[in-house]
């Protein structure tokens, strides 16, 4: 009897041992599979997101200066519609546009612009050029005919909050109403060519000069040229804090962009022929053949995102994807303050 019980106990112990071994084996297998899955799912350095969001990684390069110009639309310009057909029933508020531009370049307008951002961000978001055009005359009060002024400008200017800080003072003091149309520089200029703007505030020298050459601008009384370049800030190269491409150590802005291309790190482009987009394409290595045209980046879609969107939307996209992006500094600082 004792022998039978002993044998039965031994069988129970053996069964328990076998069960424990099975549990251990299954646990080890699961850990290996989990480890393998984690390894396979881990993003490569070029696509990894930063938990810290976007940060400025490269700035203050002479190649990243971002100039802004005011231009009055010529009432007698060869206006066209979106299909390129001539338009003859355009009415430009030349008097209102002149009043607005004169005020922007007056002591009051200049002072407000150069101090914008100090209270909210601890630094000025725009600087006034040393040789900026300056207006010292009187600003006329609005009339029923001149009251509404249509300003076509860039998303960079609008998203920075600058116009919200300036325009109310001008409107309250002189009785005008400024209607702001905001888009990339290319679209902002096209809007003026369609006869839908009285003045433009943009930041792409080549596109501004073409606008003038094509007869869409004129020189205001008291100034020397159609293109009134008066303030600037800097473009900044932003990206994830872990900086997978290593742009922090770049020797120049072009070197920074070369590092992004070499590592195929994600990059969000405005892709809208704006001033920012025009500046960006000038910074890529020439052998890549990148231009403002979408088909020029057809071979780079694994890392280059041609968004065709405004600055704010692109910054959100870059933040979500952990990508690099070129932005004007004013808009970036406003974005980080508002979006966290």
- Three-state secondary-structure class, residue 227: coil
Q: Is residue 18 part of a domain?
A: no
Q: Is residue 8 part of a domain?
A: no
From 204, 233, 262, the end of a domain falls on 233
Question: Do residues 278 and 333 share a domain?
Answer: yes
**Using H for helix, E for strand and C for coil, what is the string for 276-336?**
HHHHHHCCCCHHHCCCCCHHHHHHHCCCEEECCCCHHHHHHHHHHHCCEEEEEHHHHHHHH
In the chain, % of residues over pLDDT 70: 84
Q: Which residues of 176-187 are buried (b: 16+ CB within 10 A; e: fewer)?
A: bebebbbbbbbb
pLDDT the model gives residue 46: 35
From 233, 250, 271, the end of a domain falls on 233
**Residue 328's closest CA among 285, 249, 270, 264?**
270
- Assign residue 276 the CATH number of its domain: 3.40.190.10
pLDDT the model gives residue 339: 72
Question: Do residues 177 and 257 share a domain?
Answer: no
Number of domains comprising the chain: 2
Phi, psi (deg, nearest 5) at residue 68: -115, 140
Whole-number average pLDDT of the chain:
87
**Residue 231's closest CA among 117, 137, 149?**
117
Q: Is residue 37 part of a domain?
A: no
Rounded to whole angstroms, what are the CA distances from 19 to 12, 14, 15, 25, 31? 11, 9, 6, 10, 18
State how far the Cα of 173 lies from the Cα of 177, in Å rounded to an integer: 11
Write out the two tokens for 247.
Answer: 């742009």
Q: Is residue 9 part of a domain?
A: no
The arithmetic mean of pLDDT across residues 285-309, rounded, is 97
Residue 4 CB-half CA count within 13 A: 1
From 217, 233, 249, the end of a domain falls on 233
Question: Do residues 82 and 226 share a domain?
Answer: yes
Question: Do residues 109 and 155 share a domain?
Answer: yes
Question: Do residues 289 and 193 share a domain?
Answer: no
Count of CB atoms within 10 A of residue 46's CB?
Answer: 18
Question: Do residues 216 and 276 share a domain?
Answer: no
Between 289 and 8, the more confident residue is 289
pLDDT the model gives residue 142: 98
Question: Do residues 185 and 214 share a domain?
Answer: yes
Question: Do residues 253 and 213 share a domain?
Answer: no
Question: Do residues 83 and 136 share a domain?
Answer: yes
Between 100 and 15, the more confident residue is 100
Question: Do residues 175 and 115 share a domain?
Answer: yes
The boundaries of the domain holding residue 327 are: 54-62+234-339
Reported as a single tens digit per residue, the pLDDT across 148-204 is 999 999 988 988 999 999 999 999 999 999 999 999 999 999 999 999 999 999 999
Note the Cα 285 to chain centre separation in Å: 21
């Amino acid at each position: 009897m004792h022998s039978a019980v002993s044998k039965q106990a031994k069988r129970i112990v053996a069964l328990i041992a076998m069960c424990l071994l099975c549990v251990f084996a299954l646990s080890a297998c699961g850990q290996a599979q989990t480890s393998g899955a984690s390894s396979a799912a881990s993003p490569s350095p070029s696509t990894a997101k930063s938990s810290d969001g976007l940060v400025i990684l490269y700035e203050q390069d002479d190649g990243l200066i971002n100039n802004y110009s005011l231009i009055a639309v010529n009432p007698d310009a060869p206006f066209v519609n979106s299909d390129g057909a001539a338009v003859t029933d355009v009415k430009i508020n030349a008097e209102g546009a002149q009043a607005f531009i004169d005020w922007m370049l007056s002591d009051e307008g200049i002072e407000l612009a150069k101090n914008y951002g100090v209270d909210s961000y601890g630094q000025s978001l725009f600087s006034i050029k040393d040789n900026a055009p300056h207006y010292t005359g009187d600003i006329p009060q609005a009339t029923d005919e001149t009251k509404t002024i249509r300003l076509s400008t860039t998303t960079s200017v609008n998203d920075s909050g600058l116009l919200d800080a300036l325009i109310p003072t001008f409107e309250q003091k002189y009785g005008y109403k400024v209607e702001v149309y905001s888009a990339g520089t290319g679209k902002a200029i096209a809007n003026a060519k369609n006869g839908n703007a009285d003045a433009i505030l943009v930041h792409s020298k080549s596109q501004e000069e073409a606008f003038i050459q094509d007869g869409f601008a004129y020189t205001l009384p008291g100034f020397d040229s159609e293109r009134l370049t008066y303030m600037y800030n800097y473009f900044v190269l932003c990206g994830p804090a872990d900086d997978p491409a290593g742009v922090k150590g770049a020797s120049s802005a072009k070197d920074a962009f070369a590092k992004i291309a070499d590592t195929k790190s994600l990059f969000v482009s405005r892709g809208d022929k704006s001033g920012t987009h025009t500046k960006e394409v000038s910074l890529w290595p020439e052998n890549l053949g990148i231009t403002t045209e979408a088909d020029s980046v057809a071979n780079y879609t694994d890392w280059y995102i041609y968004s065709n969107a405004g600055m704010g939307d692109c910054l959100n996209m870059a933040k979500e994807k952990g990508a690099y992006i070129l932005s004007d500094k004013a808009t970036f600082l406003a974005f980080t303050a508002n979006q966290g």
